[in-house]
Amino acid sequence: MTLSVMEAGIAQPLNVSVVLSEEGGVYQEFADALPRSLVKHNVAISIVNAGQPFFPEPDLIIAVGTKAATAVMTTSTQPVLTVLLSKETYEKLQRDPLKKAAAASAIFLDQPIERQVSLINAALPNARHIGLLYSHASPDLRTLRARATEYGLVVHEQEVTASNPLPTALQETLKTSEVILALPDLEVYNASTIRNILLAAYRSRVPIVGFSASFVRAGAICAVYTTPAQLATQAASAVKQFAENRSLPAAQFAREFEVQINAQVAQSLGLSIPSSAEIKSKVRGDR
Amino acid sequence: MTYVIQLRILAYSYLAMQQQFTGGVISLKMSKKIPGLQCVRQSKSPVHRQRYVLKPAQTPIMPSTSALSPSSVSLAATILLIQSLRAYAADTAPEQEILQDFPVVLSASRLAQPISEAPNAMTVIDRDMIKSSGFRTISDLFRLVPGMYVGTQDGHSPIVSYHGATDQYSRRMQVLVDGRSVYLPPFSSVDWEDIPLQIDDIERIEVVRGPAAASHGANSLQGVINIITRDAGSLNGMSISANSGERGINDVEAHMGKAGETLDYRLTMAYKSDDGYGTSVLNDHSTTRMLNLRTNYHPNGADSIDLQLGYSGGVRGLGIQGRPDTDPYRDTFTTNAFQQVKWQHVLDSGDDVSVQYYHIYRDSSDSAPPGNTLAERHEAELQHTLQIGDKNRLVWGGGARYDKTDSPMNVLIPYSQYQTHFFVHDEWRATGSTVLNAGAMYEEDGMGHHNTSPRLALNYHLTPQHTLRASSSVAYRSPAIMEENANSSLLGTPPAWYSLGGLRPEKVLSREVGYLGEFVPMNLSVDARLYSDQISDIIYVDPISWRNFPPLFLPYSQFGFANLMDANLRGFETTVKYRWAERNSLILNYSRQMMSCAVTGTLTLQPLTPMLQDIADSCTASVPWNSGSVLLTQQVLDNYLFSAGFYYQSEMQIIQTMAPESRMQRLDLRLARTFGDSPKPGSGEIAFVVQNVLQDNYTIYSAVPQTTNITFNRRAYIFASLNF
């Protein structure tokens, strides 16, 4: 009923403000993709940078990135959909005593750990010994520890600390692991450390499962990740739902994802891994 | 109106503050126990741990605080500015953990071809094999390569060759250490004991069995030994180790290294000494001091500059009993130093460009013939590796080399040469199961020869685990400066060695079919091949004057060199590897060789040609018909590692030696006990090594009658290492 009225162009459009943490980059990519999924809907989208005032008062704010999400959730009372931030960050924002947003939801940037385990099973079915390096125990790590047996995996973890620096922790992990699963952790995986990590793992002939297309290009064997466009499609369906009943879906992981493989690295390691399309359909089937 | 403006200022100030905080000003951890702020740390790393963002509640400014004055805003802004100045990082929002851009690390040139897709048969000797073998010299490691001959002229002059055509100046292989070519003028041979490289610094050795000029450069007539040393960043900490044992074995080495964020280095210092064969017939003791530094500077993801410096200096005993005039007991001194720098730049596409320059200096001084010999080499090379689509990887490049030698007793005057080369190689994944490797090298060798060495190989994967390979290649060996220019006038008139020059390069046409199989359930791999190599224009000794009376090859005749023979080498080689636990493995190598030679040239003294025919006939026995090795490694209990190496070689006689080398059946045993958690401080290893346990004392290469009965006897030594 509401929908048909909107389509007729009689009703006021739904005002959606997209707040970007930064101009350009993936934030902009998201903002550019969002309207494409909402063309036939009576939605007016305005794009502002974090810190700019809203005009007119939006019905729904989409905060893109942590900076925008933090700014919006602590200053604005309108419903907020946050995107391009991790589950961990979102949950911390939710617990923030300064939170003002009445209703908030999220589409997470990170991948559910089950999906990453499916990826390993699909791409490297013989790998059982999984190496993990971390500087802090993330929820994903705790899940993995708790469910390792259920997943049929043996976890070999090393915490990177002052007394167990990255090179040592890495060497220890490489001794026992058949694959390293990289969980996002800036202290372990960043532009300065990635060189030695990838080279050492390659020397030990241990593949690394990364978490982004860029990581795969750098030398990881494969990764599962969600593109800003895929997040925008999912955000658009949340917007549609909001237009219908003024409620946001529960915070959720990205439904759509891509699988990227580095065929050159796989070949060089003598591993025959399925194509990214095959892996993707297996991972999807596992869901 | 004023009110609205004020609010805007507040909003902007607040957001500016937010931006600064989220921009990595302070890394904060929100704790339930501490309601306020807790500064975790200000990392020196450009990226920060950011568990949480500083909240305005803990600052004097809040957007909702209406009693805010502009002065307090500016004060807060000043505080923030100071804090931001203290901070390092650019903006790193938490999602950047996932979204950050990584530089391409495993670029096209860093990815090694898997053996099943390589255009040649290849044997890889890795660190585990090196350790298990118990060998303390690099040359001995080649006993683990099917078809390779490792001999010794004396305790410090090993001979390494592949598929015959062997002599004490074995010179028909390309030998590379991290891309630095170490066969040197005037003999184009490798002084294995001189290379400033410790066996423990080797990451792995790839032995290409067959000509590979397209990918490995000049002189790869019969194969390539490609030694890859440990990366600058491979070692963190320090270690010392020592060998001590029979026949004066006394080695000490120290390693230290660090992998940093932009700078890695490793440094090795070593002292190595032994008494050689310990026989009264030979003076072959040796002492070597060595220094090797490798540093890698990688300021960003795209650039890497690798600098290596090495020095080795030693005293070598020389002299054979009963030859006081030509070969008296004496000490000789050698110096070998090199500097090498390689800049590698990874392009955005993942392709890369590298430029390398190195310089080698070798000096040996000897009071008796062959006297003082100086060799110097400068080489610069550019290489571009491109991944073209999913199916092609192309490597092309070129370089120039300058060789200089001054060896008055051998070649009278100093000689120098400019060699230039250009190469291109493509690896084409034609279908999912077919890989075609095609390439060629063109070289101008500095002696007026223009050689083009093509190679073509087809690898067909029957299944991903089973591969057939067929390949054909051509390669050349340019004459050594000694071969082209020998002139030993300083040692007597007329000179015993006097080249007439005008030599052509030796050429090989190699053909092979191979099979590689992985039997995954059994943890077994098989590598086998049949080959046929035609070597033409072999450069051999040519008696040019019989002023001092024949017969051929007795002292005081006068000799030069000429292209005199062709050789036909055929055979079968196989390697079987079986691994039944993490550290337990069995490696078997076997080689069946057949060689025949034909006289194709004319001696300067034509009537002697029938004698040359006799020499050609004797080449059949100059390769061992059967040879092989077995290397067994077995973990015993938790901390003990047992290994055994068995080496077999049937009787053979290298052309022009004085006696056959007897059949070798050599068993080496090593038992090691490790302690601690290697490579952590406090860990280490103690090992006991016995070579030739069964005392099957085989005879060694012998070029003069006095050394025909020297045998390789049982010897033992203890190894100890400590990491700290």
Supply the DSSP string of A134-165, one letter for each residue: ESS--HHHHHHHHHHHHHT-EEEEEE--SSS-
| Contact residues, A window 75-104, toward B, CB-based 8 Å cutoff | 75, 84-86, 88-89, 92, 96-98
CA dist A239 to A12, A234, B650, Å? 15, 9, 82
For residues B703 and B658, the answer to whether their CB atoms sit within 8 Å is yes
Q: How many whole angstroms from its chain centre is CA B134?
A: 19
Torsion angles phi and psi, residue B559, rounded to 5? -125, 145
pLDDT in tens, A27-45: 999 999 999 999 888 899 9
- Looking at chain B, the number of H-run helices and the number of E-run strands are 8, 33
CA dist B102 to A63, A220, B204, B301, Å? 25, 11, 28, 8
Q: Quick check: A154 contacting B, CB < 8 Å? A: no
pLDDT in tens, B679-701: 888 999 999 999 999 988 888 88
Q: CB distance B94–A89 less than 8 Å?
A: yes
Q: Are strands A208-210 and A129-134 parallel, antiparallel or unpaired?
A: unpaired
Q: CB distance A194–B233 less than 8 Å?
A: no
| Contact residues, A window 214-273, toward B, CB-based 8 Å cutoff | 214-215, 217-219, 225, 262-265, 267-270, 272
Q: CB distance A270–B52 less than 8 Å?
A: no
pLDDT higher for A190 or A56? A190
Interface test with B, best of A21, A67, A134, A140 (most B CBs within 10 A): A67
| Partners of residue B56 in chain A, C-beta under 8 Å | 74, 98
C-alpha closest to that of B577 among B529, B530, B526, B627: B526
The runs of H, that is alpha helices, within B355-478 are: 408-411
Q: Quick check: A173 contacting B, CB < 8 Å? A: no
**Residue count (chain B):** 724
Tokens describing residue B712: 């390789």
Tokens describing residue B167: 């002599």
| Partners of residue B110 in chain A, C-beta under 8 Å | 199, 202
pLDDT at B548: 53
Interface test with B, best of A86, A128, A267, A275 (most B CBs within 10 A): A267
pTM of the predicted protein model:
0.84
Interface test with A, best of B32, B64, B95 (most A CBs within 10 A): B95
pLDDT at A249: 95
pLDDT at B91: 54
Q: CB distance B98–A51 less than 8 Å?
A: no
Distance from CA of A245 to the nearest CA of B (A): 30
User: Burial of B491 by CB count in 10 Å (0-12 exposed, 13-18 middle, 19+ buried)?
Assistant: middle
Beta bridge partners of B385: B352, B395
Beta bridge partners of A63: A19, A82
C-alpha closest to that of B147 among B597, B484, B531, B502: B531
pLDDT higher for B31 or A205? A205
| Partners of residue B52 in chain A, C-beta under 8 Å | 92
CA–CA separation, B85 and B22 (whole Å): 14
pLDDT at B12: 38
CA–CA separation, A141 and B89 (whole Å): 27
Torsion angles phi and psi, residue B465, rounded to 5? -95, -15
pLDDT at A10: 56
Interface test with B, best of A64, A74, A231 (most B CBs within 10 A): A74
C-alpha closest to that of B216 among B360, B423, B452, B476: B423
pLDDT in tens, B575-632: 999 999 878 999 999 999 999 999 999 988 888 888 889 999 999 999 999 999 999 9
pLDDT in tens, A61-105: 999 999 999 999 888 888 999 999 999 999 999 888 888 877 899
Interface test with A, best of B27, B47, B59, B99 (most A CBs within 10 A): B99
CA–CA separation, B364 and B336 (whole Å): 9
Residues of chain B where predicted confidence (pLDDT) is lower than 50 = 1-90, 550, 552, 555-556
Distance from CA of A4 to the nearest CA of B (A): 38
For residues A72 and A52, the answer to whether their CB atoms sit within 8 Å is no
Q: How many whole angstroms from its chain centre is CA B299?
A: 26
With the CA atoms of B322, B327, B333 and B336 taken in that order, what torsion angle do they form, in degrees rounded to the nearest 10? -120
| Partners of residue B45 in chain A, C-beta under 8 Å | 187, 190, 192
Q: CB distance A196–B264 less than 8 Å?
A: yes
pLDDT at B77: 43
C-alpha closest to that of B285 among B332, B252, B336: B332
| Contact residues, A window 120-149, toward B, CB-based 8 Å cutoff | 135-136
pLDDT in tens, A99-143: 887 789 999 999 999 999 999 999 999 899 999 999 998 888 899
CA dist A152 to A111, A128, A137, B88, B580, Å? 20, 7, 21, 42, 22
Residues sharing a CB contact under 8 Å with residue A182, sequence separation 6 or more, in sequence order: A133, A188, A189, A208, A209, A210, A211, A215, A220
For residues A114 and A286, the answer to whether their CB atoms sit within 8 Å is yes
The CB density around residue A275, as the number of other CB atoms within 10 Å, is 12
CA–CA separation, B539 and B477 (whole Å): 10
| Partners of residue A64 in chain B, C-beta under 8 Å | none
Range list of β-strands (E), B275-302 = 286-297
C-alpha closest to that of B127 among B231, B222, B224, B215: B231
pLDDT at B284: 92
The CB density around residue A146, as the number of other CB atoms within 10 Å, is 9
Q: CB distance B19–A85 less than 8 Å?
A: no
| Contact residues, B window 328-357, toward A, CB-based 8 Å cutoff | 350
Helix (H), strand (E) at residue A60: strand A60-64
The model's confidence at residue A4, banded by pLDDT at 50, 70 and 90, is very low
Answer yes or no: is the ipTM higher than 0.90. Answer: yes
CA–CA separation, B585 and B602 (whole Å): 52
| Partners of residue A211 in chain B, C-beta under 8 Å | 98
Q: CB distance B301–A191 less than 8 Å?
A: yes
pLDDT at B702: 85
Range list of β-strands (E), B445-523 = 450-463, 466-477, 506-519
pLDDT at B71: 45
| Partners of residue A86 in chain B, C-beta under 8 Å | 94-95, 97-98
For residues B385 and B394, the answer to whether their CB atoms sit within 8 Å is yes
C-alpha closest to that of B563 among B622, B507, B497: B507
Q: Residue A64: closest CA among chain B residues belongs to which residue?
A: B95
For residues A161 and A113, the answer to whether their CB atoms sit within 8 Å is no
CA–CA separation, A266 and A278 (whole Å): 15
Q: Quick check: A192 contacting B, CB < 8 Å? A: yes
CA–CA separation, B246 and B274 (whole Å): 9
Residues sharing a CB contact under 8 Å with residue B569, sequence separation 6 or more, in sequence order: B163, B164, B531, B532, B533, B534, B535, B593, B594, B595, B623
Q: CB distance B114–A268 less than 8 Å?
A: yes
For residues B424 and B394, the answer to whether their CB atoms sit within 8 Å is yes
| Contact residues, B window 667-696, toward A, CB-based 8 Å cutoff | 677, 679-680
pLDDT at A167: 87
Q: Quick check: B430 contacting A, CB < 8 Å? A: no
| Contact residues, B window 285-324, toward A, CB-based 8 Å cutoff | 298, 300-301, 304
The CB density around residue B724, as the number of other CB atoms within 10 Å, is 12
Distance from CA of A142 to the nearest CA of B (A): 17
Place of tokens 């050349």: B476
Q: CB distance A219–B106 less than 8 Å?
A: yes
| Partners of residue A208 in chain B, C-beta under 8 Å | none
Distance from CA of A159 to the nearest CA of B (A): 14
CA–CA separation, A101 and A246 (whole Å): 14
Q: CB distance A218–B98 less than 8 Å?
A: no
Q: Residue A263: closest CA among chain B residues belongs to which residue?
A: B390
| Partners of residue A192 in chain B, C-beta under 8 Å | 45-47, 261-262
Among B94, B264, B393, the residue with its CB nearest the CB of A86 is B94
Which amino acid type is present at position B656?
A: Q
DSSP annotation string for B490-510? GG-SS-SBB----PPPEEEEE
Distance from CA of B251 to the nearest CA of A (A): 28
CA–CA separation, A282 and A267 (whole Å): 21
Q: CB distance B106–A70 less than 8 Å?
A: no
Distance from CA of A192 to the nearest CA of B (A): 6
Q: Is the pLDDT of residue A1 over 70?
A: no
Q: Quick check: B440 contacting A, CB < 8 Å? A: no
Interface test with B, best of A20, A161, A195 (most B CBs within 10 A): A195
| Contact residues, B window 175-234, toward A, CB-based 8 Å cutoff | 203, 231, 233-234
Interface test with A, best of B58, B61, B105 (most A CBs within 10 A): B105
SS3 state of residue B19: helix
Q: Residue A50: closest CA among chain B residues belongs to which residue?
A: B15
Q: Is B233 left (phi over 0), alpha (psi -120 to 50) or beta?
A: alpha
For residues B720 and B689, the answer to whether their CB atoms sit within 8 Å is no
The runs of H, that is alpha helices, within A194-227 are: 194-203, 213-218
CA dist B642 to B677, B679, B687, Å? 18, 20, 9
